[in-house]
Amino acid sequence: MKPENIMIGHYGEVLVMDWGLAKILDKFESEEIDDGTITSIRLKLDALKTIDGSIAGTPAYMSPEQAAGKINKIDKRSDIYSLGAILFELLTLRRPFAADDVTLLLDKIINGPVDPPKLREPNMHIPEELNAICLKAMAKTPEHRYWSVMQLANDIRTFMSGGFLGTMEYSKVQLIRKLFSKNIRTAVMIVVLLVGIFFGWLLSSSSLKSHFEVENKNKISKLLSVARIALRKQELEKAYENCIQVLAFNPENKEASRILKQTKKQLENVKEENWQKRKTEEQVNILEDEIARLKEIAKSLDRIEQSDYFIETYFQLLNKIKALQKIEGVKNPILSNEGKSYA
């Protein structure tokens, strides 16, 4: 098989020409009838011409087993290799192997690696599927090639219809690209739908954001108003709670921070005043107890004349009462007329 032997008819039919070199298989295409040497009627040693003898075929498109002269190994998979070589040339516009000397050419076919068409001509934008089909058809060993021309043709048809090749492993990016290229109309509709959803979401999000901003602004304004009134009325806990709520919505609200600062300061003052008040109440209670004792001593002084003990105690209590008098708002009734008479 070579390009010169494949013709296109007037109605698009493909015709294989020149059957001067062929090997006969039985009706099941499995057993060889003649395992001897295949000969040809052509004798010129040219890479594009058929040569005879134990090496039969056109060197540029022959399979490795043909190039090695292994006649018994030649079967339909050898033709598949030749079809792969033709596909290689269709994709790259170059033959898979080239050499000025037929011997060197045969050595390259037998021992040289097959360059992937995409690497040979990276600027040709060769599809991954055709690259894979070509390499499978041109595998070095027949066992790794397509088993039949029909299998090769099916992969070509699958590629042309946009399907997935079973012989190729696809990456995620290739799968997505393949799905979009195969179902371009559906893909366009999906993209349009997604774009519509996205812009709809943007508009809805923007509208909701504006709504929430207005609502939060009104709520903050109301909370600040309540906080100001509460501060004026000395309802410090209420003012404090409203300021905290405002700062939860907007931590940078200066008005809420100012009111909160004043509220904290007044709360500290109230706390200090309450502490002083409790302390004063304790001192007053002590004073009342001392006054009661003093009254009892005063009564005793009426009964016991010139008692040094009670007189000393009496004056000690008087000194304590004088000290307690320093507490604001506390009066000492004992130091009135009754206290003076005892003194």
Q: What CATH number did the domain enclosing 39 receive?
A: 1.10.510.10
Domain C-terminal end among 163, 182, 201: 182
122 domain-assigned: yes
pTM score, whole prediction: 0.49
- The mean per-residue pLDDT over the stretch 117-145 comes to 93
264 domain-assigned: no
Cα separation, 114 vs 92, in Å, equals 13
Domain residue limits at 37: 3-182
Domain C-terminal end among 129, 157, 182: 182
Cα separation, 228 vs 245, in Å, equals 14
62 domain-assigned: yes
pLDDT of residue 21: 67
Inter-residue contact 20 to 50 (CB < 8 Å): yes
Alpha-carbon dihedral angle through residues 310, 312, 314, 316, given to the nearest 10 degrees: -150
236 domain-assigned: no
216 domain-assigned: no
Q: What percent of the chain has pLDDT over 90?
A: 22
**Same domain as 33, residue 164:** yes
Q: In terms of DSSP H, where are the helices of the chain?
A: 64-67, 76-92, 102-111, 117-120, 128-137, 149-160, 172-182, 184-232, 236-249, 254-303, 308-324, 337-342
Domain C-terminal end among 182, 212, 247: 182
**Same domain as 310, residue 167:** no
**Closest listed residue to residue 333, CA positions, set 301, 275, 288, 300:** 288
**Same domain as 164, residue 21:** yes
335 domain-assigned: yes
pLDDT of residue 12: 87
pLDDT of residue 313: 66
Asked whether residue 43 carries a pLDDT value surpassing 60, the answer given is no
Which of 83-97, 114-128, 133-147, 310-324 has the least mean pLDDT? Answer: 310-324
**Same domain as 289, residue 175:** no
**Same domain as 161, residue 38:** yes
8 domain-assigned: yes
232 domain-assigned: no
- The mean per-residue pLDDT over the stretch 223-245 comes to 86
Number of structural domains, the chain? 2
